[in-house]
Amino acid sequence: MADEMKMGTYICTGCGIGDRLDASQMEMIATREGKATYAKTHDFLCSQAGVDMIQADIDAGEVSNAVIAACSRRAKNEAFNFQDIAVSRANLREGVIWVRPDTDEARETTQEMADDYIRMACFEAKHMHAPKPSDEQSLNKHLLVVGGGITGMTAALEAAKAGYPATIVEKTGQLGGMAGRLAKKIPTRSPYANPAETEVADLIAEIEANSNVTVCLNSTVAKTEGAPGRFDVEIATESGSTSTIQVGAVIQASGFKPYDANQLPEFAYGKTPDVVTQAELEDLVKAANGDAVKRPSDGKEISEVVFVQCAGQRSDKEGHLSYCSGFCCNASIKQAMYFKDANAGIDTTVIFTDLRTPGSGGEDFYRSGQQKGVVFTKGVVSEVEPGSDGHTVKFKDLILDEDTAIQADLVVLATGMLPNSGVDPYAAEKAAAAEEEEGEEADKGDVVATVDVESILNLDYRQGSDVPQLVHGFTDSHFICFPYETRRTGIYTAGPVRRPMDIAQAREDATGAAMKAIHAVENAGKGRAAHPRSGDLSYPTFRKEGCTQCKRCTVECPFGAINEDEERYPTFNESRCRRCGTCMGACPVRVISFENYSVDTVGAQIKNVDMPDEFDEKPRILVLACENDAYPALDMAGQNHIEYSAFVRVIPVRCLGSVNTIWVTDALNSGYDGVILMGCQKGDDYQCHFVKGSELAHTRMSKIDDTLQQLNLETERVMTYEVAITDVQRAPKLINEMAETIEKIGMSPFKF
């Protein structure tokens, strides 16, 4: 940093801080020990007057790095929102006075706590720089849409309508995808009574008329390089020619493949042409071109149609899908209506276990089906027995509790959808983990779409060619609050590749994904992070001289943001990066850092607490807490005046994944008696918003026991916990338990 650093410390004495703590002592510590240029006290720092005081110093060039010693960094952000300077916050309210009793005997240790937080904030500020956008950014409003089905077409059109041009790459010779195969669709508008036009033709016409949408048919994506704002996409046509376009973001709308009904011999699929899938019935209806659909085997009039729901779905049987495809109940009602609307005399029976027609439209459509005379029978079909004139569908009627059978001219199997999601970058890893867990048991019933897996995006990423998959091959993020977040920044998946869905949902999904893609290009253009640290301008850099090319950062980055160059040095792609710092935590030689978050900003805090000697009976406990969950939980403990040990010093971290083990060993070496890491839930239902951070931290910490033993320290001194934001009572308890443990096992011998 060329500019000279000027550090100002501002101490608030409001909210009882002044009554409980010695502010002048804190001022002295800030200037003497924290090396602040000056320290000022205000009795209401977040007031306009207080803020003006700080702003005046900034405007006068008096301060480049500020310490705000007041309430939690989560409070009063609107007031303490200063541009272009580095700010560290010492949490004297929620983190000190609110968690300590207001008693004479507590006064000394409470003051020590506050003093340490002043020191820590000063040293953090000292190592921070105000982040500035890098030069990598550029605004490219062009979007790539992979897949020309209803999802892809909708995404491209909706983006174009907002002024973002889109290029659709479609593998086949025409737009429309699976929806193009349908005769009609499930209605998407009130009164939800009849099958509706698919609107595929209208969409195609709209696309052809829109100069902002380019369509590449018979094309695939041969290569995707770069990062949000600067993707280079190589498009290959069937004829072998290639072209390259630059896009800002990617929407993957690669759709689904229908389940292979040949795996259902029990339903006589393949044994008679009169047993068809829902998709095949659409073909028959389309081919009949308005005339009655005839029995495929002999062209006879159809008088009885039976729909078998959940065919090869919701089942643990080998080769079956364990999940529900969601659309099929409504689809069968729609198809039964094809027959009923043409000739009310045709009997149509839907055999189901749970009729799943949710929402406002679903229930209406179900009722409309009943109104038209579609018969719904709760039952489980065991077998379809082909006959020469009609077939026998054997089933258990669950209401009448009996095994029975029904005759059918045509049997329609409601088979499910398989995501067309490409190659899972972590398939091998997952398989290994599953095997380790419990042989084949672990993965039972989870037949992922292993049907001729071809890459969709051909990403030129260190971590695989496609977007990571969650379960069953779907690319869903598993974040309830943030459904679009894939693990590849600037690439959003939409439609049935993300999770099973019908046309109505796919069109919503496509529009949402287009929004996210636009969000991504706009933020990439400004050098800002996308989700979840939206707006963050900091990004990782590394000191090449120190790098040993160990590749840990490139392997562990949960978002595949880091590639390797020819010499195997990491190349950081800023706009792919989510700024979690997992790379920083992974680096064994500590060469990776952010402007305002680094091994030093945290390391210096750890080292600069005042460490009482062994005989003082004042242990020190370091807590590294995830800033999104554990830290707020501790804040709320403060809000509720839940007490915890005065011996603790809490440092928020961006993610537990960013915790470098050096911090833990440094802490132990400098005399801390205990260290607690608090991160989010890991595993299948991970709550870590950087997906892998917490898990990686747990793995890293599992190896720290060796270090502890080498140092001759008890392993109980370092604990790693999963702490949720709601653990307002538990988090303080964990701290107090550590204090008790230390009382039991004694102080660390590493005090100076």
Site for another protein, residues 569 to 628, rule: CB under 8 A = 628
724 binds another protein (CB under 8 A): yes
3-state secondary structure 273-300: CCEEEHHHHHHHHHHHCCCCCCCCCCCC
Interface stretch with another protein, choices 1-9, 70-78, 103-111, 579-587 (CB under 8 A)? 70-78
Q: What are the phi and psi torsion angles at 335 (to 5°)?
A: -70, -35
CB pairs under 8 A, 24+ apart, for 62-65?
62/6, 62/8, 62/37, 62/38, 63/6, 63/7, 63/8, 63/37, 64/3, 64/4, 64/5, 64/6, 64/7, 64/130, 65/5, 65/6, 65/7, 65/8, 65/125, 65/126, 65/128
Nearer to another protein, 362 or 603 (CB): 362
The tokens for 50 are 């207080």
Q: Which of 296, 435, 414 is nearest to 352 (CA)?
A: 414
Tokens in use for 390?
């009609």
Residue 535: CB atoms within 10 A of its CB come to 9
Structural contact between residues 172 and 216, judged by C-beta atoms closer than 8 angstroms: no
Structure tokens of 160? 């174009």
Rounded CA-CA distance 465/468 in Å is 9
Q: Which of 191, 387, 439, 746 binds another protein (CB under 8 A)?
A: 191
> In this complex, which beta carbon is closest to another protein, that of residue 14 or of residue 612?
14
CA atoms lying within 13 Å on the CB side of residue 172: 11
Q: Least distance in Å: CB of 95 to another protein? A: 14
Q: Is 259 in a helix, a strand, or coil?
A: coil
The DSSP annotation for 181-214 comes to: G-SSB---STT--S-B---HHHHHHHHHH-TTEE
Check binding of 359 to another protein (CB under 8 A). yes
Sequence-distant (≥ 6) Cβ neighbours of residue 27 within 8 angstroms? 9, 11, 39, 40, 41
DSSP string, 434-461: HHHHHTTGGGTTB----TT---SS-B--
Q: Which of residues 18-47 bind another protein (CB under 8 A)?
A: 44, 46-47
Beta bridge partners of 676: 623, 719
**Contact call for residues 302 and 293 (beta carbons, < 8 A):** yes
Q: Does 134 bind another protein (CB under 8 A)?
A: no
The answer to the question of residue 82 lying near another protein (CB under 8 A) is no
Mapped to the 3 state alphabet, what secondary structure does 471-497 carry?
CCCCCCCCCCCCCCCCCCCCEEECHHH
And the tokens for 593?
């850092």
How far CA 523 is from CA of 52, 164, 537, 574, 649, in Å, comes to: 30, 14, 10, 11, 35
Return the residue of 78, 104, 318, 567 that touches another protein, per CB under 8 A.
Answer: 78
Distance between CA atoms of 387 and 127, rounded to whole angstroms? 81
Which of 551, 730 has the CB closer to another protein? 730
Q: Determine if 174 is a binding residue for another protein (CB under 8 A).
A: no
Q: Is 636 in the site for another protein (CB under 8 A)?
A: yes
The 10 Å Cβ neighbour count of residue 211 is 8
CB of 151 to another protein, least distance (A): 12
| Residue 319 or 359 with smaller CB distance to another protein | 359
Q: Judged by CB under 8 A, does residue 209 bind another protein?
A: no
The residues, any chain, with a CB within 8 Å of residue 427's CB and separated by 6 or more, are 448, 469
Residue list 472-501, contact with another protein (CB under 8 A): 472, 474, 476, 478-484, 499-501
Residue with Cβ nearer another protein (76 or 552): 76
| 194 belongs to the binding site for another protein (CB under 8 A) | no
Binding mask 526-545 for another protein (x = CB under 8 A): -----xx-xx----------
State which of positions 284-313 bind another protein (CB under 8 A).
none
629 contacts another protein (rule: CB under 8 A): yes
Spell 56-68 as b/e; 16+ CB within 10 A means b: ebbeeeebbbbbb
Q: Please provide the distance, in angstroms rounded to a whole number, between the alpha carbons at the two ends of the chain.
A: 33
What's the chain's length in residues?
A: 752
Of residues 371 and 571, the one with the C-beta less far from another protein: 371
Task: Output 3 or 401, the one with its CB closest to another protein.
Answer: 401
Q: To which H or E segment does residue 418 belong? A: strand 417-419
Of 514 and 587, nearer to another protein (C-beta) is: 514
- Rounded Cα distance between 513 and 484, Å, is 7
- Which CB atom, from 376 or from 539, has the smaller least distance to another protein? 376
Closest to another protein by CB, 35 or 317: 317
189 lines the binding site for another protein (CB under 8 A): yes
Residue at 318: amino acid letter: E
Residue 202 contacts another protein per CB under 8 A: no
CB atoms within 10 A of CB 729: 12
Q: From the list 6, 294, 367, 394, which residue makes contact with another protein (rule: CB under 8 A)?
A: 367
Select 110 or 219, whichever has its Cβ closest to another protein. Answer: 110
* Sequence-distant (≥ 6) Cβ neighbours of residue 604 within 8 angstroms: 123, 124, 126, 127
Q: How many residues bind another protein (CB under 8 A)?
A: 104
Choose which of 8, 148, 195, 326 interacts with another protein (CB under 8 A): 326
Site for another protein in 656-695 (CB under 8 A): 680-681, 685, 687, 689
One of 130, 217, 375, 711 touching another protein (CB under 8 A): 375
Identify the residue among 361, 390, 540, 674 touching another protein (CB under 8 A). 361
Cα(544)–Cα(323) distance, integer angstroms: 48
Whose Cβ is closer to another protein: residue 416's or residue 570's?
416
Of 229-237, 434-442, 517-525, 695-703, the window that binds another protein (rule: CB under 8 A) is 517-525
Nearer to another protein among residue 626 and residue 747 (C-beta): 626
Q: Binding of another protein at residue 726 (CB under 8 A)?
A: yes
Residue of the chain from 197, 301, 354, 389 that contacts another protein (CB under 8 A) = 354
Part of the chain binding another protein (CB under 8 A), chosen from 420-428, 503-511, 648-656, 732-740 = 503-511
Per CB under 8 A, 421 contacts another protein: no
Q: Site for another protein (CB under 8 A): which residue of 24, 25, 77, 244?
A: 77
Binds another protein (CB under 8 A): choice among 107, 181, 286, 378: 378
Q: Which of 362, 464, 560, 693 binds another protein (CB under 8 A)?
A: 362
CB 323, min distance to another protein, A:
5
Q: Restricting to residues 394-413, name those near another protein by CB under 8 A.
A: 397-401, 404
Q: Among residues 256 and 647, whose Cβ is nearest to another protein? A: 256
State which residue, 345 or 439, has the beta carbon closest to another protein.
345
Q: Is 312 or 361 the residue whose CB approaches another protein more closely?
A: 361
Q: Which CB, 31 or 47, lies closer to another protein?
A: 47
Contact region for another protein (CB under 8 A) — 368-376, 538-546, 554-562, 663-671?
368-376
